[in-house]
Copies of this chain bind each other. A is one copy, B any other.
Amino acid sequence: MIAEPVRFHYAACFQVAYHSNFGEQFMRNVMAMLLLCLVSAPPAGTQTARPINLMPAPASLQVGAGQLVIGPVFSVAITGHTEPRLQRAVDIFLGDLRRQCGMPPQNTPLSDPAKATLVVNSEDGSKEVQEVGEDESYTLEVSPSGAQLSAATTLGIMRGLQTFLQLVEVGPNGFAVPVLTIKDQPRFPWRGLMIDVGRHFMPLDVLKRNLDGMAAVKMNVFHWHLSDNQGFRVESKRFPKLQAMGSDGLYYTQEEVREVIAYARDRGIRVVPEFDMPGHSTAWFVGYPELASGHGPYAIERKWGVFDPAMDPTKDSTYKFLDEFIGEMAKLFPDQYFHIGGDEVKGKEWDANPKIQEFMRGHGIKTNPDLQAYFNRRVQEIVSKHGKTMEGWDEILRPDLPKSIVIQSWRGQDSLAAAAKQGYRGLLSFGYYVDLNWPAWQHYEVDPMAKAAADLGDEEKQRILGGEAAMWAEYVSPENIESRIWPRTAAIAERLWSPQNVRDVDSMYQRMGAISHRLDWLGLTHNSSYVPMLRRIAGSDDVGALRTLADVVEPVKDYTREELAETPPLSSDPLNRLVDAVRPESMTARHFSELVDAFVAGGSKPGTEAEIRALLARWRDHQVELQPLAEESYLLKEVMPLSRHLSALGTAGLAALDYLDHGEQAPAAWKTEQLALIEQIKKPKAQLLLMVAPSVQKLVEASAGAGSGSPAR
């Protein structure tokens, strides 16, 4: 599963082969040259000067001269093997292409290969149920007269069609695709996104949009976290009180589940269900308290956290229930893998239950983890009996479980490596929790093969299947969930698909920006939901001043939101605050930081200082505009301290620039005062961080002659 040494080709500019051990700096240079070359020096005859914004980056890309024009008569032919799934894939592709180009919907019949713009050739079809490691490679060759997409399987064709869509750009003579050859295959066979619908239910349209987004970046596993303390979200016909009493009426019918699975399959995505047990299971116990280790009665949990209720692993009736339940779900979900969760069992109910204590003594089970291991063994037998392979979080790993199980690691690469050494397969979710509001580069840097995993032997490395982005749902609603997943998950998708040495962060950000807007064509709401949410907060259609603030703040990171909450957050809380509306990563702050770094280092481009000044002035002035609205909106009132701070940063930054411009060193007292203020400003307010504070601090420090002196401009 480790990619062969791959080749990036770029005809007429340069041609280069690189190997995964060539080192990061070399790769950065290659990527920079690749982009530069595309932007600034198109080969003669090439009619496009646009960068090629593929994400994930393909394993090999060779660009030629000229382009293939995409007109309303664009047509596709299928040669070689065909099947309904392939034909649907082509239909979906044509619909997406038409939408992207602004052509009204039209059913385009398949064309004669001799006349088709794009000829699709698959050697073989699909497995009846999509498998881990099923061939996803493809070759795409584009000439001025047509394109050929070849693959071993329908899956490979699906991946190649997404690549084709990303290549289509408006040009001087119409929409067009550059002449090129791409040979591509994934680095890892398991590239997933987990969505937690237990904590906050997500309607079907949200799931479908996210599946569209996943397909666009070549992800292939939708991990559906379907039950938790706060909700049990699937209809069970065998145990109907699960959804009737455990979901507040917010659950998926079996018909809807099948609809999601079919939708995913048509996009080359497996659906792995997770039913978390024996902990994270309060919602089960509302209808079936006999499953639990405590007394009950139980109610759906309304708070966030790790809670006491756990299944009783000592009663045969528990396993009888699970046998029937898993049997029912194993039929509903065709995927080979069945996720039992297994994380965060507190054991308090076990400690407090004399019968469980007696059982442990009687069976020589000494600790709660041992008891959970006993539970897991028995559940594994049930899962296996129903023809499935068990998957679970780190905690389930115990040497008495068969080697077939798969470990999903929230602990990290060392944990994965340890499992691999013992013969277990695993995938990484540590570092890919998109609910923690990390910047994209931070996820991007996390590699499943890093740390101890880097030192594994080849056979052991094969056991590391890939990874999954995880969208835990304490603070997301259908309105803002897409803005938490996208576009940052595209960076994770690239990490899992592209060669290991594709890691230039600037290139990633440039391409992530492009893919973000491409996802708009699919109807994803991560961009479109932003301004309406700001309007709600402002209580006004004029959100200019609020947007100035919103564009430079980010939600607090990791688990700080819980820590800073004045009262325990509830699942029914509105998610309409500025912290819920703003992007997890501020692109304005990133851009400002680049400007300031270049300016302070000296030798920045002409106009850099003017751009910095314009931003600072806008920040300084926005507060006066925002203040009158604040009296009229409780949602705005809570962020006014941030607004004042942003205004102060603008003032401080402009003063620093004035000192620098006058070649005058800022007074020490002023500097001390400003730095103290900035330290204050860096603290979270209303669960938000002002992301431009560190850059303004650099300006203040530079103006006071700190570091390497005044910048050369």
Contact = CB atoms under 8 A, between A and B. Distances in A.
Interface in A536-551: 536-537, 539, 541
B200 A170 contact: no
A29 B149 CA distance: 68
How many monomers of this chain does the complex have?
2
Given A633-B170, A634-B171, A634-B173, A572 B541 contact: no
B634 A174 contact: yes
B105 A201 contact: yes
A104 B572 contact: yes
B170 A102 contact: no
B250 A105 contact: yes
A539 B574 contact: no
Contacts of A513: 541
A169 B50 CA distance: 45
Interface string A557-588: 00000000000000111111000100000000
A632 B178 CA distance: 14
A107 interface: yes
Given A103-B572, A105-B477, A634 B541 contact: no
A106 interface: yes
Given A104-B477, A107-B249, A572-B106, A170 B536 contact: yes
A85 interface: no
A200 B105 CA distance: 8
A479 B102 contact: yes
A250 B580 contact: no
A632 B572 contact: no
A102 B481 CA distance: 12
Contact of A99 (B172, B250, B479): B479
Interface string A316-347: 00000000000000000000000000000000
Contacts of A479: 99, 102
Interface range on chain A (Cβ under 8 Å from partner):
35 or more
Contacts of A378: none
A102 B203 CA distance: 15
A478 B201 CA distance: 28
A613 interface: no
A148 B106 CA distance: 49
A76 to B, nearest CB: 15
Contacts of A517: 532, 535, 541
A539 B102 contact: no
Given A104-B572, A106-B248, A106-B250, A169 B201 contact: no
Contact of A575 (B104, B477, B537, B576): B104
A534 to B, nearest CB: 11
Interface of A: 48-50, 72, 99-107, 169-174, 200-201, 203, 248-250, 477-479, 513-514, 517, 520-521, 528, 532-533, 535-537, 539, 541, 571-576, 580, 631-635, 637
Instruction: Give 4 nearest A-B pairs by CB, closest first.
Output: A102-B576, A107-B249, A528-B528, A170-B539
6 contacts: A72-B574, A99-B479, A104-B574, A169-B539, A170-B539, A517-B532
